[in-house]
Amino acid sequence: MTTGPDLRLQTPAVLQDSQTEAAPTPRPATFARRADLDWIRVAAFGLLILFHVALVYAPWDWHMHSRHTFGWLAEAILATGPWRLTLLFLVSGAALRFMSRRLTAGETARQRLTRLVPPFLFGVLFLVPPQSWLEALDKGWWTGGLVGWWLHTFSPSQLLRIPLNHLWFVLYIGVYTFAAIALLTRPAWLARLETLLERHLAGWRVLVVPFTYLAVLRMTLFPIFGITNQLPVDWYNHAVSLAVFLFGFAMALREQVWADLERWRKPALAGALVMLVALMALTAHPDGRFFFAIPKSLVYAANQWLTIAAILGYGSVWLRKADGPALRYLTDAVFPCYLVHQTLLVIAVYVVKPWNLAALPEAALLLTVTLGGSLVVYEIVRRTGPMRPLWGLKRHPRPPFAPAAPETPADPARAA
């Protein structure tokens, strides 16, 4: 699932205007349900499905490709590419912190294993093989049936090369969870880390410090390792994703950090838009990687963090209490839909491609089948008790649209 001149985050005028804005008074740390994180998670996964549909038409190799290719998608995908998954890792870490605040480290570990391991194994065994089989047929790597492909994929000679496809994200979340649980076993260390983050992210630093970290990684580790989505060798991805996961975990209950994100949301949004235009220009220009790609790396990291900061800030202001039946439904549906969406998309592309449709109706059909089919699958599995744990749902469903108790812990990542 997933890359010159002095580049400044903000102009002095913007900084001056932002500093004159009255800082919001931090809310009491009640730690009630955070609907904003739920909405952010739902929206981010929705963008992920759109992103995968776009990859069918992008000028890169993917699991399955349409007969139509559009070069401009290389720039358009940058609108979400730098920050979408990074935001999901951050929100997942914050969700784990809310969920674990009344549990021991052992209880947290057991709950995460129960919610992540069955869907991951089920997905690897039964959801990914149809994708890899159809890809092999489409690219001429295989001529046999699905059963033969399944037996080949899980033969002893292939065990170290079993495809995970989009389930790499679930594996990473599971591994990163235990880094956070290790902090739970040392409450003094966790409290010290939270205090340290709160101090060093105060005010404008909430924009500059994370950007600096991401920029250094982009300039140093990315040229060497790239992004592989393979756990043992994905060092740049780990340096970014594990860091933001633990960052979300450590800052989730710190109201001053949220207050600073709210205060600086407008400069963050303005900077993110400027950096997006610059990043698209550098990507489109043949010489955009001049000076060892350092300017492009700086612009990429600035867009990456400023967009996340703006989303978190505006989400906290507008959506913190925006709970309701629709959100509850979507929050429960997201993980099952994530598990199945790519399988449905690959099957749809394989079936539709021989029809030689024009690009627009073909894309609309693929999007409808992927989104609609994912929701149909969710409607089926949520009503089937024994199947629910295999799709990341609790074995016993709660009554639909039941209101949340005031102290229900937020878990925007649910299982993911």
For range 115-130, the mean pLDDT:
97
Q: What is the pLDDT of residue 74?
A: 85
- Higher-scoring residue by pLDDT: 338, 160: 338
Q: Are 275 and 218 in contact (CB under 8 A)?
A: no
Q: Is the pLDDT of residue 31 over 70?
A: no
189 pLDDT band (50/70/90 cuts)?
very high
Predicted confidence (pLDDT) at residue 191 exceeds the cutoff of 80 = yes
pLDDT of residue 11: 33
**Does position 171 have pLDDT exceeding 60, yes or no?**
yes
Q: Per-domain residue ranges for the chain?
A: 83-125+169-322
What number is the average pLDDT over the span 21-40?
64
**Residue 173: is its pLDDT beyond 60?**
yes
pLDDT at position 32 is: 58
**Lowest mean pLDDT across 18-22, 37-41, 87-91, 139-143:** 18-22
Contact 275, 306 (CB under 8 A): yes
Residue 321 DSSP code = T
| Mean pLDDT, the chain, whole residue set | 88
Among 39, 79, 42, residue whose Cα is nearest residue 273: 79
Q: What is the pLDDT of residues 53-80, one digit of tens each?
A: 999 999 988 999 999 999 989 888 889 9
Q: Give me the sign of the Cα torsion angle 243, 297, 1, 308.
A: positive
Question: Quick one: pLDDT at residue 397?
Answer: 62
Cβ-count burial of 151 within 10 angstroms (0-12 exposed, 13-18 middle, 19+ buried)? exposed
Question: What is the model's pLDDT at position 160?
Answer: 83
Q: Mean pLDDT, to the nearest integer, of 400-410?
A: 44
pLDDT in the model for residue 398: 58
Which residues 6+ apart lie within 8 Å of 220 measured at CB? Answer: none
196-220 pLDDT, tens per residue?
999 999 999 999 999 999 999 999 9
CA distances from 194 to 78, 199, 231, 299, 376 (A): 32, 9, 27, 28, 42
Q: Do 53 and 367 contact (CB within 8 A), yes or no?
A: yes
Q: In angstroms, how far is the first alpha carbon of the chain from the final one? A: 14
> Using 50, 70 and 90 to split pLDDT, how confident is the model at 5?
very low
Residue with tokens 């609309």: 364
Is residue 197 within 8 Å of 183, Cβ to Cβ? no
Residue range 318-339: mean pLDDT, rounded: 94
pLDDT for the residue numbered 157:
87
Question: Rounded to two decimals, what is the model's pTM?
Answer: 0.87
DSSP H or E stretch at residue 55:
helix 35-55
Which pLDDT does position 75 carry in this prediction?
A: 82
**pLDDT for the residue 14:** 32
Share of the chain above pLDDT 90, in %: 78
**pLDDT digit string (tens) for 214-271?**
999 999 999 999 999 999 999 999 999 999 999 999 999 999 999 999 999 999 999 9
d(CA 65, CA 68): 8
